[in-house]
Amino acid sequence: MNTIFIGIAGGTGSGKTTLTRHLKNHFGNDVTVIGHDSYYKRQVGKTYEERSHVNYDHPNAFDTDLLIQHLCALREGRSIQCPVYSFVDHNRTDETVEVFPTKVIIVEGILIFQNPTLRDLFDIKIFVETDADERILRRALRDVEERGRTLQSVVAQYLTTVKPMHERYVEPSRKYADIVVLEGGHNLVALDMMIQRIQHHIDEN
């Protein structure tokens, strides 16, 4: 199988997931989605309080080497055991999900263009760009409603790690993108162009 790898990067709350969801819903089983977030390192021996203060927006928080190994395996036609991460517990669980090769594999994450080896695996690199005020509001709503965080903790995390790491690592990785999409999945013109490109690959393979 000739698999095409698409990387979708961008800041927290930029609309990466919305864009990815649109593509997955459109193409169904021809597309597999892998989140870089699934590859957060296991926090061995740390209390919940200690885990909650880890800088999860720094490249060192991710087991990117494992993700690279898994993508290489998928390219070779082998299935992988993708980790399962709990945002409630701030830790990787003991569970895994078997992921099989498909014609299109989308990898989503804030820092996937920061690592050169990972970056070079993508055939198409997309960076989603959205106004910073809108991104923090989206993140606050998500973390409070879906991950059980307090608004105070979300604001503190944003100011101490999210914003500085975005400026240091995420925003500079924008230059590696083949396509910059404004407003993520709400940009219907960009979405239509991506759908056409992916459909072309699927039809040829």
Instruction: Look at residue 191 in the predicted model and tell me its pLDDT.
Output: 92
Instruction: Return the structure tokens found at 85.
Output: 């991460």
Q: What is the pLDDT of residue 112?
A: 98
- List, in order of start, the domains of the chain with CATH numbers: 4-204 (3.40.50.300)
Mean pLDDT for 167-190 is: 91
Residue 41 pLDDT greater than 80, yes or no: yes
Q: What is the mean pLDDT of the segment spanning 1-11?
A: 92
Q: How far is CA 106 from CA 10, 12, 103, 136, in A?
A: 14, 17, 10, 24
**pLDDT tens by residue, 13-34:** 888 988 999 999 999 999 999 9
The pLDDT, as a whole number, for residue 40 is 96
- pLDDT confidence band for 1 (50 / 70 / 90): confident
Strand positions, DSSP E, the chain:
4-10, 31-35, 80-86, 91-99, 104-108, 124-129, 179-182
Percentage of the chain beyond pLDDT 70 is 100
Our measurement of the distance from residue 74's CA atom to the centroid of its chain's CA atoms, rounded to an integer in Å, reads 17
Residue type, 106: I
pLDDT in tens, 115-154: 999 999 999 999 999 877 777 788 788 878 887 788 888 8
Q: What is the dihedral of CA 41, 133, 195, 176, to 10 degrees?
A: -60
Q: How far is 144 from 135, CA to CA, in rounded Å?
A: 14
* pLDDT band with cut points at 50, 70 and 90 for residue 39: very high
CB atoms within 10 A of CB 98: 8
What percent of the chain has pLDDT above 90?
67
Residue 147 pLDDT:
78
pLDDT of residue 140: 81
Where b means 16+ CB within 10 Å and e means fewer, 41-77 reads: bebeeeeeeeeeebebbeeebbbbeebbebbeebeee
The band of 193, judged by pLDDT with boundaries at 50, 70 and 90, is: very high
